[in-house]
Amino acid sequence: MRADSPGHSAKYGSYRMMDLPTNTVVDIQLVQSNEVGGSYHMEKEGLSRSLALLESRGVNFDCIVTDRHPQMQKFLRERTITHYYNVWHMAKGISKKLDAISKLEDCEKLKKWMKSINNHTYWTAAGSTSGPERIAKWTAILNHVQDIHTHEDPLYPKCKHAIRKTTDKSKWLQAETTAYYKLDKLLTNKRTLKYVAKLSPHHQTSSLEAYHAVILRFAPKNVVFTFIGMLCRLYLAAMHYNENANRLQAETKEGEPLFRIYFPKARKGECIAKPQKTQPTFGYVADMMDLLFEKVFVNPTPYTDAMLAISVPEPLSALYEKLDKQNVIASYVSRFKRGGV
């Protein structure tokens, strides 16, 4: 779900479902907060509406990948739908906690392991076929940081990497140290192991995050839109994304692939390279213009009826009593402009 404003005071929550193998947005649901009793409940309502629509169209779900929202976990568990967690959200949470721990006294060594543990999160998810196997590989990192590469769990008895002679013995942790105790507590607590067991082994929601960036071009968060206006902009963003999601990498005249250099905020000064895509196309605009001139203007009635059939919720202000404007103006008192004493 994407909220139209930060925090827990959002008016709109737009929920979209994406077919991850084809990188295609397949459904959009717009929920207003007063429809569900508050902005916290909009995400569950959006998922419920999307599932109902897709199931009515005969769509069968292999699995659903989301973040670790508690309401989503319970809802999908009750529906007996296979539910996986996005690895990026898990890795981000672990990295933030590790960064905080590494700033504590006697825990500075953990800074050297942060990138390795982040990579280990993705490797654990991608290289496992079951929840117990993911847990076995995940907990093996606690032996690895001690320079121990054989493990007691039969699902992952030893590390698969080549054993190399280390050139920096100071990076290894000792079992009785504060740094190791903090790391063990973070990586093996009950909640973390529960999340690790359900990490998505094949599909992630990074493409969905990219789609959220596209929405900002059509519906920026610093502008207020009506319900129909927001819905139309979300549809336009989905049409633009679906047409351009799978663009090829741009090349030079000599056929060399092009890349761009980025400095992500999360990398704290570390630059990364990303493939530079070809220029976007706007074929959906021409299709819409053809539709308008050839069908809508010729016979607008079906389209007008379809738009009027959309259920538009009452504005948020409808929940409150509307007072007389003159009385409200008369009650206005400035805290900074007072009369003489």
| pLDDT, tens digit, 9 for 90 and up, residues 49-79 | 999 999 999 998 889 999 888 889 999 999 9
* Per-residue pLDDT at 323: 84
Would 337 be classed as within a structural domain? Answer: no
Residues 229 and 170 in one domain: no
Separation in Å, CA 130 to CA 123, 137, 198, 296: 13, 11, 9, 52
Query: Rounded mean pLDDT of the chain?
Result: 90
Average pLDDT estimate for 150-177: 86
In the DSSP assignment, the letter for residue 250 is P
Count the Cβ atoms, other than its own, within 10 Å of residue 332. Answer: 6
The structural domain count of the chain equals: 3
Task: Using CB atoms within 10 Å of the CB of residue 125, give its burial: 0 to 12 exposed, 13 to 18 middle, 19+ buried.
Answer: buried
Task: Using CB atoms within 10 Å of the CB of residue 18, give its burial: 0 to 12 exposed, 13 to 18 middle, 19+ buried.
Answer: buried
Residues 220 and 185 in one domain: no
Would 252 be classed as within a structural domain? Answer: no
Question: What would you measure as the largest C-alpha separation in the chain, in angstroms?
Answer: 84
Would 121 be classed as within a structural domain? Answer: yes
Would 211 be classed as within a structural domain? Answer: yes
Residues 171 and 123 in one domain: yes
Residues 299 and 234 in one domain: no
- The Cα–Cα gap between 191 and 207 comes to 27
- The Cα–Cα gap between 308 and 300 comes to 12
Reported as a pLDDT band with limits 50, 70 and 90, residue 244 is very high
Average pLDDT estimate for 215-221: 93
* Per-residue pLDDT at 186: 95
Q: Where are the alpha helices (DSSP H) in 140-253?
A: 141-144, 178-187, 190-197, 206-218, 227-244
More confident residue, 328 or 117: 117
Q: Per DSSP, what are the bridge partners of residue 257?
A: 251
Half-sphere exposure of residue 276: CA atoms within 13 angstroms, side-chain side: 11
Residues 175 and 213 in one domain: no
Residues 26 and 99 in one domain: no
Would 75 be classed as within a structural domain? Answer: yes
Average pLDDT estimate for 168-192: 91
Reported as a pLDDT band with limits 50, 70 and 90, residue 205 is confident
246-252: long-range pairs with CB below 8 Å, 24+: 246/23, 247/277, 247/278, 247/280, 248/277, 248/278, 249/275, 249/276, 249/277, 249/278, 250/275, 250/276, 250/277, 250/278, 250/279
Q: Which of 49, 58, 63, 125 is nearest to 90 (CA)?
A: 125
Residues 78 and 210 in one domain: yes
Residues 116 and 34 in one domain: no
Reported as a pLDDT band with limits 50, 70 and 90, residue 30 is very high
Residues 95 and 74 in one domain: no
Q: CA angle at residue 279 from 276 to 283, to 5 degrees?
A: 145
What percent of the chain shows pLDDT beyond 70? 98
Would 332 be classed as within a structural domain? Answer: no
Would 267 be classed as within a structural domain? Answer: no
* Per-residue pLDDT at 165: 76
| pLDDT, tens digit, 9 for 90 and up, residues 302-311 | 999 999 999 9
Residue 337 has pLDDT above 80, yes or no: no
Tokens standing for residue 16: 């979209």
- The Cα–Cα gap between 62 and 26 comes to 15
Would 10 be classed as within a structural domain? Answer: yes
Average pLDDT estimate for 233-259: 94
* Per-residue pLDDT at 339: 56
At 158, which amino acid appears? K
| pLDDT, tens digit, 9 for 90 and up, residues 72-91 | 999 999 999 999 999 999 99
Tell me the residue range of the domain where 192 lies: 87-197
What percent of the chain shows pLDDT beyond 90? 69
| pLDDT, tens digit, 9 for 90 and up, residues 278-315 | 999 999 999 999 999 999 999 999 999 999 999 999 98
Do 77 and 66 meet the contact criterion of CB atoms below 8 Å apart? no
Residue 341 has pLDDT above 60, yes or no: no
Residues 33 and 95 in one domain: no
| pLDDT, tens digit, 9 for 90 and up, residues 92-119 | 999 999 999 999 999 999 999 999 999 9
Residue 214 has pLDDT above 80, yes or no: yes
| pLDDT, tens digit, 9 for 90 and up, residues 32-46 | 999 998 888 999 999
Residue 196 has pLDDT above 90, yes or no: yes
Residues 48 and 127 in one domain: no
Q: Which of 58, 46, 57 is nearest to 3 (CA)?
A: 46
Q: Where are the alpha helices (DSSP H) in 79-202?
A: 87-102, 114-126, 131-139, 141-144, 178-187, 190-197
Residues 78 and 209 in one domain: yes
